[in-house]
Structure 1
Amino acid sequence: MSKTALLVVDMVYDFAHPDGAVYYPQNSEILPRIKRVIDECRKHDCLIVFMQQSHRRGKYDKHLASVARPNCIEGTGGDELMPELGVQENDFIIKKRRYSSFYGTDLDLVLREHGVQSVIVCGTKTNCCIRATVNDAYHLNYNVIVPRECVATNDDTNNEVHLSDINKYMGSVLTMEELFQLLRGRESK
């Protein structure tokens, strides 16, 4: 079993579909690239974990109450994972209600139960959910890799600033091809 997991963060309808409540076109652009990374990670026996932003319908949620445009509310379809991702039965789907994929979820437990040491993080938004997830993964002693072409936010400059910080302080920002070479190299060892 691979000691690497791919975390696909918040590629849900409200963020990644043109009719979604808080859609950014950049999310549509990264969707097929994320699918390529998922397919490559499957070839190398990586654990695949989909993080699903989902807020409880009709119940108080401080995070949701502070957002100008409600989004990802269960039962509306807005929190559904994009079908293009090709979720499979043995993949994990973990709901989250905060920026970090680790906060208030059992993600760390799932990763440790599978002997994961390295996490590949892709999805949306680089300045919120990606950065918070990477930060917590770093502090939990995971080796963190972010494929540059597989994260986005609503502003390209903002995206680059956060990728620069991630690369400098918390992990490695690689191109998809560099990631694929790394995965192939790990397999041959």
Structure 2
Amino acid sequence: MSKSALIIVDMLKDFTDPKGLVYYPQNREVLPRIKRVLEECRKHGLLVIFLQHCYRKDKFDKNLQNMRPNCIEGTDGIEIDPMLEVDPVKDYVIRKRRYSGFVGTDLDMVLRENKIENVIIVGTKTNCCIRATVTDAYNLDYLPIVVSDCVATNDEVVNQVHLTDIKKYLGKVVTSEELFALMDKGEISG
């Protein structure tokens, strides 16, 4: 039985709130399912990690050259959506400035310190931050498990293409119900 962690990618107000700078309705739609996955993972003792996209205010960042400004430190946009409660004692909140949660952060160190082998990934955007984090997790020898009904982007075709590639080349893709069944059978544990 391998130890697992839940990684919640960028479920921040700029992505989830209708007033957010890069809001997509699909992000709001997956929030209740992500909340349920979060609750089940906590019930089964899994480590929980929130990735928080955050750019420095008034500082250059190469990523911002090709996209709309978003997730700027000091704004409400970087706050984790209030539907997903952070346990300040047990959970990790890791800020990132690139699509992958592994680039320029201590995510890999946190996972290794906790002897994690499987990473369950939910959040936004399937074609950018989810895909990049999954690819790096795979390359670092973790087993990525993406929960298909708990990830979103602004185009369902793009979402499905990336889920298909992830399933074929990088890890597992399961529904939340399939994830819960795996946890109940003890195949995924904390």
Question: Aligned-pair distance for 1:188?
Answer: 9.4
- State the one-letter code of the partner of 2:165: D
Counterparts of 1:81 and 1:95 in 2: how far apart (Å)? Answer: 11
> With structure 1 as the length reference, what TM-score do the two structures score?
0.96
Which secondary structure state, in structure 1, belongs to the residue aligned with residue 186 of structure 2? helix
Contact 1:44 1:187 in 2 (8 A): no
Deviation sequence 1:52-87 (CA, Å, 0-9, x none) = 0000001111112321x2000001111111111011
Contact 2:102 2:136 in 1 (8 A): yes
- State the one-letter code of the partner of 1:37: V
Contact 2:182 2:188 in 1 (8 A): no
Question: Aligned-pair distance for 1:187?
Answer: 6.5
Which residues of 2 match residues 62-73 of structure 1 at below 5 A?
62-67=62-67, 69-73=68-72
Counterparts of 2:180 and 2:17 in 1: how far apart (Å)? Answer: 27
Deviation sequence 1:159-188 (CA, Å, 0-9, x none) = 000000000000110011110011111269
Which residues of 2 match residues 69-88 of structure 1 at below 5 A?
69-88=68-87
Contact 1:24 1:153 in 2 (8 A): yes
Which residues of 2 match residues 46-65 of structure 1 at below 5 A?
46-65=46-65
C-alpha root-mean-square deviation of aligned residues, in Å? 1.5
- Structure with more contact order per residue of length (Cα contacts < 8 Å, sep ≥ 6): 2
Counterparts of 2:48 and 2:154 in 1: how far apart (Å)? Answer: 26
Counterpart check, 1:41 vs 2:36: no
Contact 1:144 1:170 in 2 (8 A): yes
Counterparts of 2:7 and 2:110 in 1: how far apart (Å)? Answer: 12
Structure 1 residues 187 and 171: alpha-carbon distance in aligned structure 2, compared to 1, 3 A threshold: closer
Counterpart check, 1:99 vs 2:103: no
Structure 1 segments of 4 or more deviating over 2 A? none
Structure 1: 5+ residue stretches without partners: none
Q: Which residue in 2 is equivalent to 1:24?
A: 24
Contact 2:3 2:188 in 1 (8 A): no
Q: Which residue in 2 is equivalent to 1:114?
A: 114
Which secondary structure state, in structure 2, belongs to the residue aligned with residue 5 of structure 1? strand
Equivalences, count: 188
